[in-house]
Amino acid sequence: MSTDDPAEASAAYEPEHNAPAPIRWLSRVEIWTGTVLFALLFLGVMYQVLGRYVPQIAWVGAGEVARLSMVALTFVMAGYLIGKNGHIVIEVFDSVLQGKKLFVALRVFAAVVMVLTCGALAWESLLMIEQGWRRVSTVLHMPLAVLYIFALVGFTSGIIHSIAKIAAAGRPEAKLDISEMEG
């Protein structure tokens, strides 16, 4: 890759740009889905608040929309957070083993544990989908199996992201930057 712009040249070597195209595409889909679900959550809560001050427009379904959106958002973003190291990591071992052969083994072990965990959760989600069509939500009468579909998608995504982490265990990986959140 040849470029005269130093910012563009350095960006090409960042871990996010080195991720395989399907992983980058999957991450974009997860972010957009999460954005839509967050908007539904926000709108549901705001409508609830508005309904408290204007009782004529109050709708109990707004709370259920917000609640179900929050649960779906949690499930669907699981894979994304795994891919971006937004899950719980044992940072002590990362810093101690950095640059050593055991560091790659630790990363592979952590990714294998995530594959197995997400696989078990995806399997349970599949079982709950089969049973969840009979149970419906209180107000919207939405089958609860729909929520388990989000769980299945999120945990399957976690498996895919973890397998990609195994394949890239020896290369630098993306870090979730939470410095903006710290006070």
- Summarised one tens digit per residue, pLDDT across range 97-143 is 777 778 888 888 889 999 999 999 999 999 999 998 999 999 999 99
**Has residue 118 been placed in a domain?**
yes
Q: What mean pLDDT is predicted for residues 52-67?
A: 94
**pLDDT computed for residue 143 by the predictor:** 96
Q: What is the number of structural domains in the chain?
A: 1
**Has residue 80 been placed in a domain?**
yes
**Has residue 138 been placed in a domain?**
yes
| Domain of residue 38, residue span | 6-167
Looking at mean pLDDT, say which of 4-18, 75-89, 131-145, 168-182 comes out highest: 131-145
**Has residue 96 been placed in a domain?**
yes
Q: What mean pLDDT is predicted for residues 142-146?
A: 95
**Has residue 47 been placed in a domain?**
yes
10 Cβ contact list (under 8 Å, min separation 6): none
DSSP 3-state of 85: coil
Residue with more model confidence, 102 or 40:
40
Q: What mean pLDDT is predicted for residues 146-161?
A: 96
**Proportion of the chain above pLDDT 70, given as a percent:** 77
**Has residue 12 been placed in a domain?**
yes
φ/ψ of 136, rounded to 5, equals -125, 160
At 69, the amino acid letter reads S
**Has residue 174 been placed in a domain?**
no
Q: Which of 68, 91, 67, 87 is nearest to 79 (CA)?
A: 87
- Summarised one tens digit per residue, pLDDT across range 75-95 is 999 999 888 876 665 666 666
Give the angle subtended at the CA of 133 by the CAs of 129 and 137, to the nearest 5°.
105
**Has residue 13 been placed in a domain?**
yes
34 Cβ contact list (under 8 Å, min separation 6): 73, 76, 77, 80
